[in-house]
């Protein structure tokens, strides 16, 4: 019995030493760098924050994100096909070709084509700005839009928000109203959860919130440079 206990003690001692040494000798793990977009791009993506939170899309605001998880891809694909009024069995190539042909010429009309007589146009515009920012960024991560085209649309979308609203509080109130009038007319909203005045206040009081922390308008989404009249470029 004594011999067995001794052997057991020796085994446990070596086991403990093995795991301790493994801990100290193992190469240090380099944490994944989660580098957010900055400047104009950060501002353009910030418009989508309520929908990003509601949909649980990870890495939306990060430079290093180049795709979506399998679960998120499946969930967003169904919603986006409905959003684009496209058939459910469309292939990725068909979606890419359609977006290539229509996105840059029609993005600014999305969610604004069939307004009701009682709809507030400013509220509808804020709602459209949030949805377009969410859609274009995720469509890029789904491989449907090339990055250059996506940023042109995202920055133009940001520019219209900057031009039409006086600040984040104004924009947030308009988005609340826009979403409410959208769903009140029994129009489908598959791309996000509720957003109420309580959420507006929560965003205001949350230090990590992009809304109310980024300057409005901040850096213009597009800055026109004066060129020489003799320039042909």
Task: For residue range 56-94, list pLDDT tens digits in order.
Answer: 899 999 999 999 999 999 989 988 998 888 888 899 999
The closest alpha carbon to 35, from 68, 64, 2, 58, belongs to: 64
> Is residue 7 predicted with pLDDT exceeding 60?
no
What's 33's DSSP letter?
A: P
> Is residue 110 predicted with pLDDT exceeding 70?
yes
Report how far residue 7's alpha carbon sits from residue 104's, in angstroms, rounded to the nearest whole number: 75
> Is residue 96 predicted with pLDDT exceeding 50?
yes
- Answer with the residue of higher pLDDT: 45 or 208: 45
SS3 for 209?
coil
- pLDDT tens-digit profile of 15-36? 445 444 454 444 444 344 478 8
What is residue 187's predicted lDDT score, i.e. its pLDDT? 73
The closest alpha carbon to 203, from 172, 228, 181, belongs to: 172
> Is residue 107 predicted with pLDDT exceeding 70?
yes
CA distances from 94 to 97, 105, 112, 205 (A): 5, 18, 24, 44
CA distances from 231 to 224, 225, 228 (A): 15, 12, 5
**How many CB atoms sit inside 10 A of residue 154's CB?**
27
Band (pLDDT 50/70/90 cuts) for residue 11 is very low
What's 37's DSSP letter?
A: P
- Domain map (residue ranges) of the chain: 39-205
In this predicted structure, which of 24-38, 42-56, 91-105, 118-132 has the lowest mean pLDDT?
24-38
DSSP alpha helices (H): ranges in 26-69? 39-46, 49-55
Report how far residue 107's alpha carbon sits from residue 91's, in angstroms, rounded to the nearest whole number: 21
Length of the chain: 233
> Is residue 224 predicted with pLDDT exceeding 70?
no
The closest alpha carbon to 184, from 131, 113, 118, belongs to: 118
Query: Residue 67 is encoded by which pair of tokens?
Result: 């795709």
What's 118's DSSP letter?
A: T
What is residue 183's predicted lDDT score, i.e. its pLDDT? 84
Band (pLDDT 50/70/90 cuts) for residue 100 is very high
SS3 for 205?
helix
Report how far residue 47's alpha carbon sits from residue 132's, in angstroms, rounded to the nearest whole number: 9
State the greatest distance between any 2 C-alpha atoms of the chain, in Å, as a whole number: 100
> Is residue 164 predicted with pLDDT exceeding 80?
yes
Q: What is the dihedral of CA 9, 12, 16, 17, to 10 degrees?
A: 60
In this predicted structure, which of 2-16, 141-155, 169-183, 196-210 has the lowest mean pLDDT?
2-16
In the block, which residue shows the tokens 């993506």?
45
């Amino acid at each position: 019995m004594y011999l067995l206990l001794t052997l057991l003690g020796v085994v446990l001692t070596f086991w403990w030493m093995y795991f301790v040494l493994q801990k100290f000798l193992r190469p240090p793990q380099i944490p994944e760098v989660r580098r957010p977009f900055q400047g104009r791009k950060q501002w353009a993506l910030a418009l989508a924050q309520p929908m990003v939170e509601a949909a649980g899309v990870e890495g939306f605001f990060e430079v290093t994100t180049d795709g979506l998880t399998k679960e998120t891809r499946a969930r967003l694909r169904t919603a986006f096909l409905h959003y684009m009024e496209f058939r459910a069995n469309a292939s990725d190539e068909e979606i890419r070709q359609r977006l290539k042909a229509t996105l840059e010429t029609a993005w600014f009309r999305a969610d604004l084509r069939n307004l009701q007589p009682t709809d507030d146009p400013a509220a509808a515009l804020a709602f459209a700005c949030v949805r377009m920012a969410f859609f274009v960024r995720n469509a890029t991560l789904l491989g449907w839009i090339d990055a250059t085209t996506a940023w042109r649309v995202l920055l133009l979308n940001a520019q219209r928000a900057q031009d039409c609203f006086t600040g984040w509080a104004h924009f947030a109130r308009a988005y609340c109203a826009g979403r409410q009038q959208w769903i009140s007319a029994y129009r489908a909203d598959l791309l996000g959860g509720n957003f109420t005045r309580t959420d507006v206040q929560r965003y205001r009081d949350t230090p990590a919130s992009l809304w109310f922390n980024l300057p409005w308008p901040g850096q213009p989404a597009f800055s026109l440079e004066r060129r020489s009249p003799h320039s042909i470029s």
